[in-house]
Amino acid sequence: MVKKINKVLFLYNPSSGKGKIKKNLGYIDQELRKKYGSVDIIESKSKSFMEDTIKKACYEYDYVFFSGGDGTFNIVINSIPDIENLPIFGYLPGGSTNDMSYNLNISKDIKIGLKDLLNSTPQEYNVGSIGDTKFIYVADFGAFTDVSHITPQEQKRKFGRLAYLKYAIEILFKGAKNHKVVVDGVVYETPLMFISNSREVGSFRINPEKSQKDGLYYIVIVNGEKGHRIRNIVYLFIFGIEAAVSKNRAITFTSSRFTLDCDVNEWDVDGEAVTIKFPVTCGYSGKKIRILTNR
């Protein structure tokens, strides 16, 4: 029997993290070739370049590996065409923060992460949506959610996660204001809300037992009580959803789909700034991808 030769692509974002992927390209190429025989390695030139490359790759390759931060993951998810036979995807974390590395149990260390990836098995993973925008693990708005956008890219490359600290402290001292959201017809006032199927958000493990395979998404709405908004947000991220709900610092509920209206149009979706036109439906998009994971 002739062994099938898999067509393999490795696409990476050179601006993510501190350029550590580019520094390790030789090692990555060597290890991928050991398992697959050959691999095409492509450096992304821009967001549009990555979008076009992913679209074409879904028709041409058996495996599509990609590397970058969570924002890179979001670009990939929103570039996948609506076809039946998609390739198997593999994610090698390479950004300043990588919530999906924890969800998939792939190390953030390049060499260990590559070993994890090459010893993983493909599993179906849900893709979320908010209106016409797809997301892989979170869509949110409110206090602290724009830190990743306002922090200059050069500082992210130089200092990693520490680069976010300055801007987070500024927000802390400014305080957090409430916004109105309407979820399934019920009105809430909140300084922070997110929709997710993730174990980890913002590098905090707020829902460590969550499955990304069950088609269910949770909404968290932080209590907007005046004078306690920042405290409630900090408590949520330090102690997790269950503890925050028990202390009346947040509410949460779970479903496959929600109807949503909001007075904020600028949202953070997997670390990317996205303009949403409300009202929308959100939650499970009905789409899945097969992705390599150790979970």
Domain stop point among 119, 153, 175: 119
Domain stop point among 89, 119, 149: 119
Q: Is residue 141 located within the same domain as residue 100?
A: no
pLDDT over 70, % of the chain: 86
Q: What is the pLDDT of residue 2?
A: 40
Q: Give all strands (DSSP E) within the chain, no chain letters.
A: 8-12, 40-43, 63-68, 88-93, 121-130, 133-135, 138-142, 179-183, 186-190, 192-196, 217-222, 250-255, 257-262, 266-269, 272-275, 280-293
Which two structure tokens, joined as six digits, stand for 248? Answer: 């009346």
- State the average pLDDT for the chain: 88
Distances, alpha carbon 177 to alpha carbons 138, 174, 225, in Å: 21, 9, 10
CATH of the domain at 48: 3.40.50.10330
Which two structure tokens, joined as six digits, stand for 180? Answer: 């109105």
Question: Distance (Å, rounded) from C-alpha 32 to C-alpha 28?
Answer: 6
pLDDT in tens, 87-102: 999 999 987 668 899 9
Instruction: With beta carbons less than 8 A apart as the criterion, state whether 234 and 173 touch.
Output: no
Is residue 3 a part of any domain in this protein? no
Instruction: With beta carbons less than 8 A apart as the criterion, state whether 265 and 278 touch.
Output: yes
By three-state DSSP, how is residue 271 classified?
coil
Q: Is residue 140 located within the same domain as residue 279?
A: yes
Q: Is residue 185 located within the same domain as residue 273?
A: yes
Q: What is the pLDDT of residue 149?
A: 38
Domain stop point among 57, 89, 119: 119
Q: Is residue 168 located within the same domain as residue 276?
A: yes
Q: Is residue 104 located within the same domain as residue 213?
A: no
Confidence band for 187, pLDDT divided at 50, 70 and 90: very high
Strand pairing of 266-269 and 272-275? Answer: antiparallel
When pLDDT is averaged across residues 184-199 and rounded to a whole number, the result is: 95
The total number of structural domains that make up the chain: 2
**Which residue type sits at 238?**
I
Q: What is the extent of the structural domain holding 257?
A: 133-286
Confidence band for 199, pLDDT divided at 50, 70 and 90: very high
Q: Is residue 139 located within the same domain as residue 106?
A: no
Phi, psi values for residue 60, rounded to 5°: -110, -25
